[in-house]
Amino acid sequence: MAATTTIEVPHLGGITVGYALSGVYDAKKPTCVLINSMCTTVALYKDQFASKALTSAVNLLAIEPLGHGATKSKTEHFTYWDTAVMALQVMDKIGIDKAFALGTSQGGWMVARMALLAPDRISGLILLGTSMDYESADSRSKGCWDPKTLLAPFYEKWSVPTPDFLVDDVWCGMVGSLGFGTGATPEVIQFWTDTLKSIYTGDEGRKKLKMALACLLERDGLLLRVRDITCPVYWLHGTADVPFGTTIPAEQIKLFTSSKEATLSFVEGGGHYLNATNPKEVEAALLQMVNKYT
């Protein structure tokens, strides 16, 4: 479900941000910000929050992006850059000066933006099942999906005021099947269907979902910018990642030319939401980075 705790930050005239923190914040431990994938919530990181090995070593701070979960803004329009600023302001509010940042799918686009906006505050990036490009023709020619063709009809449908709006089962099913792959059990699909229907309801829910989709369909690429990211980057990618395949990550990791370390690891059989389909591999990579760069 959506986050049950919120915090107020000033960006965009005021945002109520849904978040989850692994226990009481401990300033003596390093912190890792976690940003979830499209239409999921902090619940995507349940395996990470349940890991004693991880939470004993690191403060986990999961933040729901604009258009997601319990996060609400006063303005209807926003971009991934706004979520990056918002997340940095959440760090400010909690009293976190520096943090590692992990992003799943679209979360990867947001944490990369955090590293560009505040290079002195992001100690390292863990990128999971993502791409640094927009949904370009070049990406599609290399095995990436075509969301504009697939998802534009939803955007058109959601552009009409609908007081009794409730996100449909088709959309909910795609969130589960594209993200979890073979791990999309009936129980997983039902959990995320219930979660989405509790968030994207009524006309405010319609507008929230519409703008989350607009961000995905119209986002800007970062291929010319990632050379300016100086922190270490560990990119983990499942071999069964449906939206982004395996060609793009191998090309794009080479663009992090200023990073202290930039590595790509393919996880055999891993799905798109890699922290959910392969939590052990993700935990190992995060702990490796934290131990090396703290």
DSSP string computed for the chain: ---SEEEEE-GGG-EEEEEEESSS--TTS-EEEEE--TT--GGGGHHHHT-HHHHTT-EEEEEPPTTSTT-EESSS---HHHHHHHHHHHHHHHT---EEEEEETHHHHHHHHHHHH-TTTEEEEEEES--SS-S-HHHHHTT---HHHHHHHHHHHTTS--TT-B--HHHHHHHHHHHHGGG--HHHHHHHHHHHHHHSBHHHHHHHHHHHHHHHHHPPP-TTTGGG--S-EEEEEETT-TTTTTHHHHHHGGG-TTSS-EEEEEETT--SSHHHH-HHHHHHHHHHHHHHH-
Average pLDDT over residues 140-149: 92
Average pLDDT over residues 101-106: 98
- What is d(CA 269, CA 276) in angstroms, rounded to the nearest whole number? 12
Quickly state the pLDDT bin for 181 (edges 50, 70, 90): confident
Strand bridging mode 15-21 / 5-9? antiparallel
Q: Which residues of 38-73 are buried (b: 16+ CB within 10 A; e: fewer)?
A: bbbbbbbbebbbebeebbebbbbbbbbbbbbbbbbb
- What per-residue confidence (pLDDT) applies to 184? 87
79: left (phi over 0), alpha (psi -120 to 50) or beta: beta
pLDDT at 30 over 90: yes
Q: Which residues of 125-158 are buried (b: 16+ CB within 10 A; e: fewer)?
A: bbbbbbbbbbbeeebeebebbebeeebeebbeeb
The type of residue at 193 is: T
Residue carrying structure tokens 């933040």:
63
Q: Is the CB of residue 16 less than 8 Å from the CB of residue 8? A: yes
Q: How far is CA 202 from the centre of its chain?
A: 25
Select from 132, 79, 124 the least CA-distant residue to 105: 132
Render pLDDT for 154-179 as a digit per residue (tens, 0 to 9). Answer: 999 999 999 999 999 999 998 988 89
Q: Is the CB of residue 268 less than 8 Å from the CB of residue 239? A: yes
Render pLDDT for 32-54 as a digit per residue (tens, 0 to 9). Answer: 999 999 999 999 999 999 999 99
Render pLDDT for 261-282 as a digit per residue (tens, 0 to 9). Answer: 999 999 999 999 999 999 999 9
- What per-residue confidence (pLDDT) applies to 1? 84
- What is d(CA 211, CA 231) in angstroms, rounded to the nearest whole number? 30
pTM comes to 0.97
- What is d(CA 135, CA 218) in angstroms, rounded to the nearest whole number? 8
76 is written with which tokens? Answer: 């209807």
Give me the percent of the chain exceeding a pLDDT of 90: 96
Supply the mean pLDDT for the chain.
96
